[in-house]
């Protein structure tokens, strides 16, 4: 696994690198397995390692491989999100065994995930086989000869609770002036990406304020294995002051015990299990006074300190890497024997049929988005692939681009996307009037033109701002987005159907962040009710629509009602969403091919009755993207896999599955052509078309493999907070 933000150089032993956020790499990796002599795959699972929401891209790999697999779960959550639960359940279905490293992990899998007990194996976290050396020589190497050493190591993040130890130090130093506390490890890359070194600096300030700064050493770096072992063998007491009890595995704890270091810990699940029967000491989460008392008792009684460290060392002998390796090898042989019995003479993977490969999805690239964006915002149009600066900027396009940047940053952590979020949000802020409305156009000289944005424009901006209030990577951006949203949302109650539908998208993101926001929920439900009332007033047996004419971005309206259904579980919302989307399918699909309504004349009720023909040109990328999002929303709301097929067919419009067989996406520039005319496609690659393609692509990347589960819709009271990606996906993908 590689992260494009942290590229690594691999040795020759590495056969293939999966780029974390590139969905197609997982299928390619599976093909590499299927067409090789590999007989079994071992998967190390942790949330955040793999791409997609909560790492669901691993399901693409698992669904495709045709050899047995074993998955080691490094984290088992008692209260997972719906997607987190789904991933574990699908891994359990696809893998021959799930390996956990603690008894609590076994219990959670059987009780909370309904995994059969005979499918679970417990193999402890491996540790190096370290000798019981005298700590003196190791302390000398660290420049700490003759001092008592406390140690905590691992990637630094606020949930580590280092401040609890710092607050215990004044009492400890008063009794043991020679005490030194080593905090070893770099800041977690994701924490550093979001907040820099804020946590470490806060710890340093607190140490100075308490007068113990001279008794703390921060080693802000990744240390080598040899260095780590040296720290462990030098330490007198190892402290894990973690703030969250729901931790089923701690490699740091296992390493410390295996080095024969006395451990003092908060009672998170793994510590409670490993430190039982005198193998360590526990103290309440966040209680620095009891921590100080506990460490004092160990330092004041050398025999007690030795008894604790000896018990830990003896207990961990079955956990040394050689023993753990033997356990995995035995489990692998067991799984392969089962596979051979099941498949008889077809046990060899080369004899198992490999499925036909689905057509691939383009890699997510921001090349043309960056080309169109300057230090003001995204330029509206392009001449061929070159930005047409004379056309200036508009709120509509910058709102769309903000959504793309938010989703991209969430999936990939892209520094470019993070910068674009600030750029587009700043542009929207610049264009908002005192009354909450938005000027839509700004010329290339940054002069605001007096025209007010349309209802659809403001609705789309509400969608983007609501999503940014939830998903933006820094608190300042989230606060600004929320303030702008609140200032602009009230007029949405009087908008037309598209403006109301787009406002629903933004309100849904707000409600994901604040489920108890009664004002937002009231507005949300009112808007959904308005759409249903429009449908009732306008629709008849032949014309199942909200207006007398189908124009542009039509599929966003049923999308909004599928989204509303997932919040409210109101059957009327589902009924109208399903009926209106089905009507659009009948109008716009010819078999498996999407043929959009051209904007040269649109398609009205009278035209449908008279001839049934819709204008052939110009077909717009925004409409294809809306279908991708609507079908994804329908799938999420109903679980009907037919919608996933339609989603893919809609996306394929961009790749040439259209009435002219022309690929609208330019693989060279990573831009999208502006429209499909009567005889040819536009060669210009402007903002709306490119952002529409990227929105559709991000929705495709957010589908977690062919067997992605659906889950049952839940009432608003029971809905758990979804991940930030899905919150925007309710807007951008649902």
Q: Read out DSSP for 244-303?
A: -S-----HHHHHHHHTT-EEEE---HHHHHHTTTTTSEE--TT-HHHHHHHHHHHHH-HH
Q: How much of the chain, in percent, has pLDDT values that exceed 90?
A: 81
Alpha carbons 107 and 31: distance in angstroms, whole number: 34
Same domain, 485 and 452: yes
pLDDT at 570 over 90: yes
pLDDT at 353 over 70: no
What is the arithmetic mean of pLDDT over 75-80? 92
pLDDT at 715 over 50: no
pLDDT at 358: 54
pLDDT at 720: 33
Q: How would residue 351 be classed by pLDDT, with cut points 50, 70 and 90?
A: very low
Which residues are bridge partners to 320 per DSSP? 127
Q: How would residue 348 be classed by pLDDT, with cut points 50, 70 and 90?
A: very low
Same domain, 419 and 528: yes
Give the count of domains, the chain.
3
Strands of the sheet with 41-45, listed across from one edge: 41-45, 69-73, 97-100, 120-122
Residue 433 falls inside a structural domain: yes
Residue 14 falls inside a structural domain: no
Residue 517 falls inside a structural domain: yes
Residue 537 falls inside a structural domain: yes
What is the arithmetic mean of pLDDT over 381-409? 97
pLDDT at 609: 57
Q: Where are the beta strands (DSSP E) in 639-694?
A: 665-666, 671-672
C-alpha atoms less than 13 angstroms from C-alpha of 706 in its C-beta half-sphere: 15
pLDDT at 352: 41
Alpha carbons 466 and 469: distance in angstroms, whole number: 5
What is the arithmetic mean of pLDDT over 370-387? 98
pLDDT at 81: 87
For the segment 604-621, what is each residue's pLDDT rounded down to a tens digit? Answer: 998 765 566 888 889 999
Residue 12 falls inside a structural domain: no
What is the arithmetic mean of pLDDT over 352-357? 44
pLDDT at 134: 82
Looking at 514-601, list the stretches that DSSP marks H as alpha helix, in order from N- to C-terminal side: 518-538, 556-568, 571-588
The candidate with the shortest Cα–Cα distance to 464, out of 418, 425, 414, is 425
Say which CATH number the domain at 454 has: 1.50.10.10
Same domain, 232 and 85: no
The candidate with the shortest Cα–Cα distance to 458, out of 545, 530, 508, 398, is 398
The region that residue 544 occupies, defined by phi over 0 for left and psi between -120 and 50 for alpha, beta otherwise, is beta
Q: How would residue 61 be classed by pLDDT, with cut points 50, 70 and 90?
A: very high
pLDDT at 711 over 80: no
The candidate with the shortest Cα–Cα distance to 170, out of 236, 201, 216, 234, is 216
Residue 15 falls inside a structural domain: no
Secondary structure element (H or E) that encloses residue 72, with its range: strand 69-73
Say which CATH number the domain at 117 has: 3.40.50.2000
What is the arithmetic mean of pLDDT over 438-465? 96
pLDDT at 402 over 80: yes
pLDDT at 613: 81
pLDDT at 702 over 90: no
Same domain, 162 and 257: yes
Same domain, 258 and 274: yes
Q: Which of 143-157, 465-479, 711-725 has the lowest mean pLDDT?
A: 711-725
Phi, then psi, of 504 in degrees rounded to 5 = -60, -40
What is the arithmetic mean of pLDDT over 211-223? 94
Q: How would residue 355 be classed by pLDDT, with cut points 50, 70 and 90?
A: very low
Same domain, 295 and 150: yes
Helix, strand, coil fractions of the chain, as percent rounded to 5? 50, 10, 35
Q: How would residue 198 be classed by pLDDT, with cut points 50, 70 and 90?
A: very high
Q: β-pairing, 69-73 with 41-45?
A: parallel
pLDDT at 508 over 90: yes
Residue 308 falls inside a structural domain: yes
pLDDT at 674: 97
Residue 357 falls inside a structural domain: no
Alpha carbons 280 and 264: distance in angstroms, whole number: 6
Same domain, 388 and 335: no
Looking at 115-157, list the stretches that DSSP marks H as alpha helix, in order from N- to C-terminal side: 135-141
pLDDT at 608: 67
Q: How would residue 344 be classed by pLDDT, with cut points 50, 70 and 90?
A: low
**pTM (predicted TM-score):** 0.78
What is the arithmetic mean of pLDDT over 321-341? 96
3-state secondary structure 386-450: EECHHHCEEHHHHHHHHHHHHHHHHHHCCHHHHHHHHHHHHHHHHHECCCCCEECEECCCCCECC
CB atoms within 10 A of CB 81: 17
CA distances from 579 to 497, 518, 634 (A): 16, 29, 11
For residue 675, the enclosing domain spans 367-732
Same domain, 104 and 188: no
pLDDT at 6: 57
pLDDT at 53: 82
Same domain, 310 and 326: no
Same domain, 298 and 383: no
Q: How much of the chain, in percent, has pLDDT values that exceed 70?
A: 92
Same domain, 627 and 723: yes
Same domain, 538 and 391: yes
What is the arithmetic mean of pLDDT over 678-694? 97
Residues 6+ apart with CB under 8 A from 272: 104, 282
What is the arithmetic mean of pLDDT over 484-509? 97
What is the arithmetic mean of pLDDT over 472-479? 94
Alpha carbons 33 and 705: distance in angstroms, whole number: 17
Q: How would residue 7 be classed by pLDDT, with cut points 50, 70 and 90?
A: low
pLDDT at 708: 46
pLDDT at 24: 86
pLDDT at 149 over 90: yes
pLDDT at 610: 56
pLDDT at 732: 30
What is the arithmetic mean of pLDDT over 284-310? 97
Alpha carbons 719 and 531: distance in angstroms, whole number: 23
SS3 at position 665: strand
Phi, then psi, of 175 in degrees rounded to 5 = -90, -30
């Amino acid at each position: 696994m590689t992260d494009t933000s942290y590229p690594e150089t691999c040795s020759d032993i590495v056969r293939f690198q999966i780029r974390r956020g590139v969905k197609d790499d997982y299928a390619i990796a599976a093909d590499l397995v299927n067409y090789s002599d590999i007989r079994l795959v071992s998967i190390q699972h942790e949330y955040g390692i793999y791409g997609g929401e909560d790492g669901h891209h691993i399901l693409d790999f698992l669904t495709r491989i045709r050899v047995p697999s074993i998955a080691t779960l490094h984290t088992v959550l008692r209260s997972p999100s719906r997607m987190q639960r789904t991933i574990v359940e699908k891994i359990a279905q696809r893998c021959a065994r799930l390996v956990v490293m603690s008894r609590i992990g076994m219990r959670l899998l059987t009780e909370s995930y309904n995994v059969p007990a005979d499918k679970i194996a417990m193999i402890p976290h491996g540790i190096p086989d370290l000798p019981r050396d005298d700590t003196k020589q190791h302390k000398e190497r660290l420049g700490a000869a003759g001092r008592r050493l406390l140690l905590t190591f691992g990637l630094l993040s606020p949930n580590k609770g280092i401040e609890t130890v710092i607050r215990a130090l004044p009492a400890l130093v008063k009794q043991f002036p020679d005490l030194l506390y080593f905090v070893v490890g770099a800041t977690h890359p994701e924490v550093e990406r979001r907040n820099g070194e804020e946590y470490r600096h806060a710890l340093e300030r607190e140490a100075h304020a308490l007068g113990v700064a001279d008794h703390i050493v921060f080693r802000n770096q990744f240390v080598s294995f040899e260095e780590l072992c040296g720290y462990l063998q030098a330490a007198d007491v190892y402290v894990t002051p973690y703030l969250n009890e729901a931790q089923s595995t701690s490699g740091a704890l296992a390493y410390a015990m295996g080095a024969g270091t006395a451990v003092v810990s908060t009672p998170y699940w793994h510590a409670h299990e490993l430190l039982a029967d005198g193998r360590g000491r526990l103290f309440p989460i966040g209680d620095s006074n009891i921590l100080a008392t506990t460490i004092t008792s160990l330092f004041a009684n050398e025999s007690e300190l030795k008894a604790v460290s000896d018990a830990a060392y003896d207990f961990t002998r079955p956990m040394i890497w050689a023993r753990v390796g033997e356990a995995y090898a035995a489990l692998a042989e067991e799984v392969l024997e089962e596979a051979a019995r099941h498949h008889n003479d077809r046990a060899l993977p080369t004899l198992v049929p490999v499925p036909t490969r689905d057509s691939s999805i383009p890699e997510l690239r921001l090349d043309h988005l960056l080309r169109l964006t300057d230090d003001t915002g995204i330029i509206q149009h392009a001449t061929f692939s070159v930005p047409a600066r004379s056309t200036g900027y508009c709120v509509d396009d910058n709102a769309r681009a903000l959504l793309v940047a938010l989703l991209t940053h969430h999936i990939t952590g892209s520094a470019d996307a993070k910068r674009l979020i600030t750029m587009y949000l700043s542009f929207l802020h610049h264009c908002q009037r005192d009354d909450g409305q938005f000027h839509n156009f700004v010329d290339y000289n940054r002069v605001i033109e007096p025209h007010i944005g349309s209802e659809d424009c403001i609705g789309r901006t509400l969608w983007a701002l609501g999503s940014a209030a939830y998903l933006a990577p820094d608190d300042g951006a989230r606060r600004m987005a929320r303030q702008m949203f609140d200032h602009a949302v009230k007029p949405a109650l009087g908008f037309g159907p598209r403006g109301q539908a787009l406002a629903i998208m933004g309100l849904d993101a707000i409600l994901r962040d604040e489920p108890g926001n009664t004002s937002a929920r009231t507005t949300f439900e009112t808007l959904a009710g308005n759409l249903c009332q429009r449908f009732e007033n306008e629709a008849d047996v032949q014309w199942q629509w909200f207006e007398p004419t189908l124009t542009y971005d039509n599929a966003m309206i049923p999308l909004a009602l599928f989204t509303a259904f997932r919040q409210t579980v109101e059957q009327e919302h589902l009924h109208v969403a399903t009926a209106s989307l089905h009507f659009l399918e009948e109008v716009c699909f010819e078999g498996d091919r999407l043929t959009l309504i051209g904007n040269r004349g649109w398609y009205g009720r009278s035209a449908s009755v008279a001839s049934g023909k819709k204008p052939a040109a110009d077909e717009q990328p925004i409409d294809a993207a809306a279908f991708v999002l609507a079908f994804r929303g329908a799938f999420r709301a109903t679980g009907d896999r037919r919608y996933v097929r339609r989603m893919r067919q809609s996306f394929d419009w961009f790749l040439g599955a259209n009435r002219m067989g022309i690929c609208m996406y330019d693989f060279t520039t990573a831009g999208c052509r502006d429209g499909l005319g009567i005889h040819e496609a536009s060669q210009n690659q402007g903002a709306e078309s490119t952002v529409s393609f990227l929105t559709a692509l991000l929705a495709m990347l957010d589908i977690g493999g062919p067997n992605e589960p659906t889950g049952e819709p839940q009432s608003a009271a029971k809905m758990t907070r979804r991940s930030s990606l899905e919150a925007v996906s309710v807007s951008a993908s649902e």
